[in-house]
Amino acid sequence: MTRHELLRVFISYSRADQHQAHELEKKLESEGFAPVWDSNNHAGEPFRHQIERQISHAHVFMPLLSKASATSKWVHNEIGLAIGRNVPVLPICIEGAKPEGIVTDLQPEQATKVKDLRDLRDPIEWLVCQHSNKGLYSRCEFVEERTEAIVSHTEEILRIQGSDGSRAMRHIACFGSLSIPASRWDRAWAKRNRRQPQGPTYRKEAMSRERVLLGRYAKLHGCDLVVHPYHQELYSTEIRMRCKLLVKFIDSCEDGRIRVKISEFAEGENQLIIGDWFHAVSNSPKTDGFRHTFFTTHAPTVLKQWQDFEHRFPGGSDWMYEKKEAIAGIKRFVKRKLKEHQDPT
């Protein structure tokens, strides 16, 4: 992976400049970026919603400013949306145009035509780095809200990105979302949640949806799991079942698509990083889930969290890269912990 690979750059332009926008798309692709513009829209979905979504997930917003764009309400609206969501803005000025309005103070890249622009890799990388801690986070107070948010974000990501070219999912948790039954009808619920064996059907359905969607992303793009598959407030029956469900998922993955590490850091921590698409961090752990979850889709911030994970948990011999090794390691850990605490239930 190159240092620029997979960075999404949204191109905002006036319809009169479509040819120049296409040239800008080709230039960005040649420099290793992933350009995004309205040609990526899906039929049957509201146009405005798709544009807002693409801008929200962009690492950089790139308005193509010209004589025509000066009177384009779409370009002005999109610039306002990008700035409102703290997406880095890099104006591209052609035909002698200059930044106006809310981007007046931003230094642009200038040329007569797009083909005359200098290499954009350094300015884009600098912008992403400068905005890596400026993400806007939303908060979910309760477990149900957390589940709904994860389901909504993951569905959106699976819909707008292809099967290739996305970063792996990274998850830090005791057992994590992949230890949830994949169906609300699964009999494993009774042992996994012994305190609430019946539980609301709607909640089981939502949690199972979370498990299915995250599992789908993990199998497409890979998964790094940092776990601590034991919790002193859980019954041994619950621990064994959660371990069984986690192991079942790991076994369903291809070797090379998943790696697992057992760490004490995961005992009281829950973080979910879906590539560089969204980041969720949860506080106030309870036996039935986490309270106070914070989410962001701000791409530079999510990318920074994804990279920080690598610094916290660098590759090495304590990672289990083959699924048989990971399964055996988890089972040994759980057996040892249960023996130490001698919980017969």
* pLDDT at 232 exceeding the cut of 70: yes
Q: Return mean pLDDT, the chain.
A: 90
pLDDT at 42: 64
Asked if 319 and 263 touch (Cβ cutoff 8 Å), the reply is no
pLDDT at 279 over 70: yes
Read off the pLDDT of residues 312-334 as tens digits, 9 standing for 90 and up. 999 888 999 999 999 999 999 99
Write out the two tokens for 330. 């988890």
| Angle in degrees, CA 137, 138, 143, rounded to 5 | 125
pLDDT at 185 > cutoff 60: yes
Whether residue 238 is predicted with pLDDT greater than 80 in this model: the reply is yes
Q: What is the pLDDT of residue 1?
A: 40
64-92 tens-digit pLDDT:
999 999 999 999 999 999 999 999 999 99
Q: Which pLDDT score is estimated for 2?
A: 45
CA atoms of 39 and 328, how far apart (whole Å): 48
Q: In the predicted model, what is the mean pLDDT of residues 31-47?
A: 79
Q: What is the pTM of this model?
A: 0.90
Residue 197 has pLDDT above 60, yes or no: no
Here the tokens at position 178 are 């992949």
pLDDT surpasses 80 at 118: yes
Residue 243, CA distances (Å) to 9, 39, 116, 166, 252 in order = 41, 45, 58, 28, 14
**Edge-to-edge strands, sheet with 34-36:** 34-36, 8-12, 60-65, 92-93, 109-110
Confidence of residue 201 (pLDDT cuts 50, 70, 90): confident
Mean pLDDT to the nearest integer, 97-119:
94
Q: Order across the sheet with 258-262: list the strands.
A: 138-140, 289-296, 278-286, 270-274, 169-173, 223-227, 258-262
List of domains in the chain: 8-130 (3.40.50.10140), 138-341 (3.30.870)
